[in-house]
Amino acid sequence: MKPLRALAVAGASAVLLMCQAAAAFAGAQHLTAAMMAPALSSTAKYHSLTVAEKAGYSILADTAGTTCIAEPQMGAMGVHYVRGDLVKDPAIDAKQPEALVYAPDKHGKPHLAALEYVVIKSDWEDSQPQPPRVGYGNPVTLPPPTLFGQRFNLTDAPNRYGLPPFYSLHVWVWKDNPAGTFAMWNPSVHCET
């Protein structure tokens, strides 16, 4: 009888742990949605590409002239519309993404899918308080920027955009991304029409 009781207690403990993990995940999802609310409300108007262009966003092509960015086996990002003045500014503001990412539908019509926050690595580092140097060792490396509780990704140089090293964070708030809200590539986005 004791082995059965021990097994029941272990099973109940496992169920309790799974419920706690699910509740923590749901809480984190709710917190992220609440944190993203200002970004959603300030960018909803950009579902109109005309409004985005009037606000200063313009299409970005990589060094090969490609405008719809895809990565075989990973999916795609889509077509980026960028505001160069925001990229040059090291400030990170959830309400003002440096880029708007549009996913083409099956007819090639672009639809707002994601926001992208971008900062040039050297600009970011120059804008941050410098940690004190201790001794004669190497200087302390500054951490990348964060937004919505997520660390930005580093894209080193040389890169397909011809930019110096930069940090970026994709936020798929207008289109579901099976790879995750903050994943760089979206397997449900395709550049071929």
How confident is the model over 16-54, as pLDDT tens digits? 334 344 433 333 444 567 888 999 999 999 999 999 999
Within a domain: 91 = yes
Nearest to 39 by CA among 87, 98, 80: 98
Is there a domain that residue 96 lies in?
Answer: yes
Q: Is 170 exposed, middle or buried (0-12, 13-18, 19+ CB in 10 A)?
A: buried
Question: 98 lies in which domain range?
Answer: 42-129+140-171
164 lies in a domain?
yes
Between β-strands 68-71 and 75-82, what pairing exists: parallel, antiparallel or unpaired? Answer: antiparallel
Which parts of the chain sit beneath pLDDT 50?
Answer: 1, 4-30
**Any domain includes 155:** yes
Give the end-to-end CA distance of the chain in Å, rounded to a whole number: 65
- The answer to whether residue 26 is domain-embedded is no
pLDDT at 192: 78
pLDDT value, residue 3: 52
Question: Is residue 23 one of the residues assigned to a domain?
Answer: no
Length of the chain: 193
The pLDDT value recorded for residue 180 is 93
Report d(CA 177, CA 114) in Å as an integer.
10
pLDDT value at position 17? 37
| Number of independent structural domains in the chain | 1
Residue 32 lies in a domain: no
Domain assignment present for residue 59? The answer is yes
CA–CA separation, 193 vs 190, rounded Å? 8
Write down the pLDDT at residue 8. 41
- Which residues are within 8 A (CB) of 130 and not within 5 positions of it... i.e. 6 or more apart? none
